[in-house]
Structure 1
């Protein structure tokens, strides 16, 4: 008990400085004049966790916005991806292929016979619209608009056979593979036609209207192209307005086993005279 009384009556004893790293845990000044204790870290140098999270979220948002803007610019002015949903262009383009479409054609460079082009489904073709929910339409169209998703659906891919003013003919012999189709009177040997296909399953005799092109699929036995939509209009309804053309197919980008640039077939039409 005497020891307890002695301790209780004793005056305040000077505090012993902590040893080791204890002083480093101080978070602010300890002296009367505002100076920091040795080894102390100012409070404003310790970034709060909430501020760090906000900075990360802000940087991530900036990166995403920049990526979307760049994707939109590339898709609008340079190139756009599309996917192949049907067999109409086999075996040049297979179902599921992802293709790259150059926006330079026809905006900045002329089209040619033999070019493969992607175009909006012409109104004269009267195709049946796809029925999707509003939410799916909005999400899909938005992603296609900025270039995240490949286009498709309301776009068609075919090969140009006739330019404006061209006289394109497939006689009865042509439809039975006994003879080729002709462009401005010149017979055309078409190496890109799918094996087993005839130049055309039905004969036709048309003249391509001004500012339009006559297009056909490489799988001539299974392609709803200009022939299918023309009826008896002699080229007026089946031909595609050049203003509807999105661009020229320049390469297959996917799958990996099929990545390659599109072959140039301008030599096939080299002897065709101007209309």
Structure 2
């Protein structure tokens, strides 16, 4: 069995390559893959501010990967996903706000996001954020999700892609995994 020094030296070239790729990608991608250390889990580096304060830019997160058709949508999950309808050629991380059949809208008189007509208590949203919400109301189609970043002022999320196919939603099958220990606030 290899010792820790052997394991570190084995992964060092991979980490250097990922660091170089991360430096080149800037804010163009939400996450960069580091290594797969445990079967079913992968580690990623958050490459944008869109999920702050929950996930800080530059932090490492562990994602429990899901197989095709295995993800069961749940409000509040922070998920790694691909959204080809959004013309993204990379994986990103966002929070599930709307599950199939739910209605997400903006906003109540206090400026709170509405889920099924009720204001959401979103303790995970960046407290100093001053997001510009366009008025919207979306009923999430069967088999799709409405995703939003926690730093609403900078996140390119479902709100930004409402004119794309799917109306800003992504297919549930686009979820690659669930971020561990991200909580719903």
TM-score bucket of the superposed structures, by smaller chain: 0.7 to 0.9
SS at match of 2:85: helix
1:165 correspondence with 2:124:
no
1:206 correspondence with 2:126:
no
Residue 104 of structure 1, CA deviation: 4.6
1:142 is aligned to none
Distance 1:180 1:241 in 2: 25
Aligned length: 153
Distance 1:249 1:204 in 2: 27
SS at match of 1:124: helix
1:95 is aligned to 57
Rg: which structure is higher? 1
Q: Is the 8 A contact 1:193 1:199 kept in 2?
A: no
Residue 179 of structure 1, CA deviation: 2.8
1:124 correspondence with 2:54:
no
2:117 is aligned to 185
Between Structure 1 and Structure 2, the one with more strand by share is: 2
Q: Which runs of 4+ in 1 moved over 4 A?
A: 104-109
For residues 135-158 of structure 1, what are the alpha-carbon distances to aligned partners after superposition, in whole Å with 9 as ceiling and x for unaligned? xxxxxxxxxxxxxxxxxxx10100
RMSD across aligned C-alpha pairs, in angstroms?
Answer: 2.7
Pairing of 1:219-230 with structure 2 (within 5 A): 219-230=151-162
Q: Is the 8 A contact 1:119 1:156 kept in 2?
A: yes
SS at match of 1:227: helix
Distance 2:184 2:178 in 1: 12
Instruction: Flag the 1:86–1:182 CA change in 2: closer, same or farther, 3 A.
Output: same
Unaligned runs of 5+ in 2: 1-5, 11-34
Unaligned runs of 5+ in 1: 1-59, 65-70, 130-153, 251-260, 266-275
Between Structure 1 and Structure 2, the one with more helix by share is: 1
1:115 is aligned to 77
Provide the TM-score with structure 2 as the length reference: 0.72
Residue 263 of structure 1, CA deviation: 2.6
Provide the TM-score with structure 1 as the length reference: 0.50
1:12 is aligned to none
